[in-house]
């Protein structure tokens, strides 16, 4: 065991993979969930929603209580969230552990269309009970092709949902004019420079394109960079928009305490403007890569993987924030830690 308090890869695999499916009111979240529930790869998935809405309820009813729950024919489970989000999710997880509902293998949470996904993501990362039992795998946001432009202009909730996403899904594109779609794509890039923008054909997107492999197969490493749009290489330095993205690299091992102190200072001073943090680090004295991720000022417990993917041993940290925070991070990274390189 290393001298640092990193979570082991085996312990990380034992945690339940969780994805957030956000999006403004009427943006097609429920339609997308219905399509996902028909995908064979989603068998054994629990979906926790604020309201059942159009989620099919014509299967065996398990519970008529506050947390109404139904089991579908393919083993998926739908639960109506009641009350506080954290409490409702933990109640569902406790019922899974107690055998009161089928032992689902992954969880999709659909918060209200007026919700900022950041507090929910932070709860999974920060809450002592939730963070031990669950791991955040992806944040997916649906965007209405007809009204997305005006919603981004008028509603801060929409901007927050878009900015935090690992994947963006355009819905109702068959009803929108092409020039409007192009303007919307430009605006989405302004809000989120790195998340892939997918199109839902008749409300459906393949589950494999929405979620990383570790969401479906817990035996896979949960921290490999390819899992996230945050590690995409297609964003150039002149395409930063309102939020900027930067890759911070190091060719030599990092001292954990020095790195932790550096990141803590940025989180404390710029937490509200620091949207996402994801990285794979070469830490002095640790054999495997150490994976870190966070939302705003909240950082998940670091996870030490068993081996480096593709044998490439090199630290890489990706930040999404406003330009001022990115500039400060870039300057302090190269000035304060050895062997530092900045990309983008």
Provide the residue ranges of all domains of the chain, joining segments of one domain with +: 7-216, 236-343
Q: List CB contacts of 295: < 8 A, sequence separation 6 or more.
A: 118, 121, 122, 125, 164, 275, 276, 277
Residues 251, 312 contacting (CB under 8 angstroms): no
**Contacts (Cβ under 8 Å, ≥6 apart) of 289:** 223, 280, 281, 282, 304, 305, 308, 309, 313
Q: What is the pLDDT of residue 65?
A: 46
**Per-residue pLDDT at 202:** 80
Phi-psi region for residue 339, left (φ > 0), alpha (ψ -120 to 50) or beta?
Answer: left
- pLDDT for 87: 84
Question: pLDDT value at position 81?
Answer: 66
Give the number of other CB atoms < 10 A from CB of residue 273: 16
Question: What confidence score (pLDDT) does residue 264 get?
Answer: 93
CATH architecture designation of domain 236-343 = 2-Layer Sandwich (3.30)
Strand pairing of 16-23 and 197-199? unpaired
Which pLDDT does position 244 carry in this prediction? 84
- Asked if residues 33 and 49 have their Cβ atoms less than 8 Å apart, the reply is yes
Low-confidence ranges of the chain (pLDDT < 50): 1-2, 54, 56-65, 222-240
Please list, in sequence order, all residues whose beta carbon lies within 8 angstroms of the beta carbon of residue 24, skipping any fewer than 6 positions away: 113, 114, 142, 143, 144, 148, 151, 155, 157, 158, 161
pLDDT at 211: 93
* The model's pTM: 0.83
Q: Which residues contact 142 (CB under 8 A, 6 or more apart)?
A: 21, 22, 23, 24, 27, 28, 29, 32, 169, 171, 200
| Superfamily classification of domain 7-216 | P-loop containing nucleotide triphosphate hydrolases (3.40.50.300)
């Amino acid at each position: 065991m290393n001298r640092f308090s990193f979570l082991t890869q085996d312990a990380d695999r034992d945690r339940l993979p969780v994805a957030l499916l956000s999006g403004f009111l009427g943006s097609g979240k429920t339609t997308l969930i219905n399509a996902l529930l028909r995908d064979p790869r989603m068998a054994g998935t629990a979906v926790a929603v604020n309201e059942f809405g159009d989620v099919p309820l014509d299967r065996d009813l398990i519970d008529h209580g506050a947390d109404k729950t139904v089991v579908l024919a393919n083993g998926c489970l739908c639960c109506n969230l009641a009350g506080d989000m954290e409490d409702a999710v933990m109640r569902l997880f406790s019922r899974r552990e107690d055998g009161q509902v089928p032992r689902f293998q992954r969880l999709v949470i659909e918060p209200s269309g007026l919700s900022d996904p950041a507090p929910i993501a932070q709860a999974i990362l920060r809450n002592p009970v939730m963070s031990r039992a669950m791991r955040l795998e992806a944040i997916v946001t649906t965007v209405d092709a007809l009204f997305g432009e005006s919603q981004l202009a008028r509603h801060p909730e929409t901007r927050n949902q878009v900015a935090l996403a690992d994947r963006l899904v355009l819905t109702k594109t068959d009803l929108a004019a092409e020039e409007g779609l192009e303007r919307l794509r430009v605006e989405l890039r302004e809000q989120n420079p790195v998340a892939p923008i997918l199109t839902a054909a008749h409300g459906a997107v393949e589950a494999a394109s929405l979620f990383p492999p570790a969401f479906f197969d817990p035996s896979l490493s949960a921290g490999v960079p390819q899992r996230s749009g945050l590690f995409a290489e297609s964003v150039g330095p002149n395409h930063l928009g309102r939020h900027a993205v930067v890759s911070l690299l190091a060719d030599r091992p990092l001292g954990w305490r020095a790195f932790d102190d550096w990141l803590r200072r940025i989180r404390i001073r710029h937490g509200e403007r620091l949207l996402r943090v994801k990285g794979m680090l070469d830490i002095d004295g640790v054999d495997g890569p150490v994976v870190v991720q966070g939302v705003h000022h909240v950082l998940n417990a670091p996870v030490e993987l068993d081996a480096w993917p593709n044998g490439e041993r090199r630290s890489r940290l990706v930040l999404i924030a406003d330009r001022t925070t990115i500039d400060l991070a870039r300057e302090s990274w190269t000035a304060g830690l050895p062997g530092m390189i900045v990309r983008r």
